[in-house]
Amino acid sequence: MALPPTPDLDDAVTTDEVAAAPTPAAPAPARPDRLRPVLLAVLVLAFLASLGTLGWLGVEQVRGDRDGGRERQAQREEAMSQARQFMLRNQTYGPDQLDEAGQLAEYRRLNKEIMTPKFYAEFEKAATAADQLAKESGVSRSVEVLGVGVETLDDDSGTVLVTGQISTRYLDAKGKDVSAGEDLFRVVVDLVDSDGTWLVDDFAQVSKAEQ
């Protein structure tokens, strides 16, 4: 086996030469002045990004509030419209609406469209009395709605206040059309939501004490 060559002692570095050799300088640390612009830029970008996020969230919240307000107002208007229709349809009839069987068939149909099944069953009892009045006495009624306002309203029920005037006429013994006068009314109409449509579920006269 070959041995490694023996080093030439004449060319070897002495201890004194090693001691005299200069010590390599340590790398200089990065200057803080160079880092400051970089850090500042990062902070500015982060700040702008946060402002953008907050702005977007603010716009979405305003848009949601606005859309929710419009939806609520639309519900109020639909409820008031249905309550108005109820009074117009419920208190408008006369001999000219009697069918061949002597019944107010169209009167019933119009009211059934805007009532819950439960309330329509109650209405049928009053409709029978209206049949007799129209047929036997020639009674006719018409309504003028003077005001409508929401009293309470939530997602599936509400109450609407309706005021107006009912005019009643009849045929006297000589067959002459005579006015029986006008009556002011103030009623509270109860409504429930049925598959997105407000239906009348009940109504009641407002007492003088409540007025």
pLDDT higher than threshold 50 for residue 6: no
Tell me whether residue 154 is in a domain.
yes
Identify whether 75 is part of a domain: no
Mean pLDDT of the chain: 81
Instruction: Work out the pLDDT band at 58, boundaries 50, 70, 90.
Output: low
CATH of the domain at 147: 3.10.450.230
Task: Judge whether residue 21 has pLDDT over 50.
Answer: no
- Residue 151 inside a domain? The answer is yes
Domain containing residue 169? 82-205
Q: Which residues contact 133 (CB under 8 A, 6 or more apart)?
A: 139
Q: What is the pLDDT of residue 8?
A: 45
Is residue 112, in this structure, part of any structural domain at all? Answer: yes
Q: How far apart are CA 61 and CA 163, in angstroms?
A: 38
Task: Report the pLDDT value the prediction gives residue 69, as an integer from 0 to 100.
Answer: 80
Q: What is the tens place of the pLDDT at every residue in 76-111? A: 999 999 999 999 999 999 999 999 999 999 999 999
Give the model confidence (pLDDT) of 22-33 as tens digits: 444 444 454 555
Number of domains forming the structure of the chain = 1
Answer whether residue 97 is part of any domain: yes
How far is C-alpha 13 from the geometric centre of its chain's CA atoms? Answer: 94
pLDDT in tens, 191-200: 999 999 999 9
Q: What is the pLDDT of residue 37?
A: 67
Q: Is the pTM of this model over 0.85?
A: no
Q: Do the domain assignments include residue 193? A: yes
Predicted local confidence at residue 35, as pLDDT: 60
First to last CA, the chain: 125
Task: Render the chain in DSSP notation, one character per residue.
Answer: -PPPPPP-GGGSPPHHHHHHSPPPPPPPPPPHHHHHHHHHHHHHHHHHHHHHHHHHHHHHHHHHHHHHHHHHHHHHHHHHHHHHHHHHHHT-B-GGG--TTSS-HHHHHHHHTTB-HHHHHHHHHHHHHHHHHHHHS--EEEEEEEEEEEEEE-SSEEEEEEEEEEEEEEE-TTS-EEEEEEEEEEEEEEEEEETTEEEEEEEEEPPTTT-
Task: Point out which residues pair with 45 in neighbouring strands.
Answer: none
The answer to whether residues 188 and 161 touch, using CB atoms and an 8 Å cutoff, is yes
What is the pLDDT, as a whole number, of residue 59?
61
To the nearest whole percent, how much of the chain has pLDDT over 90? 60
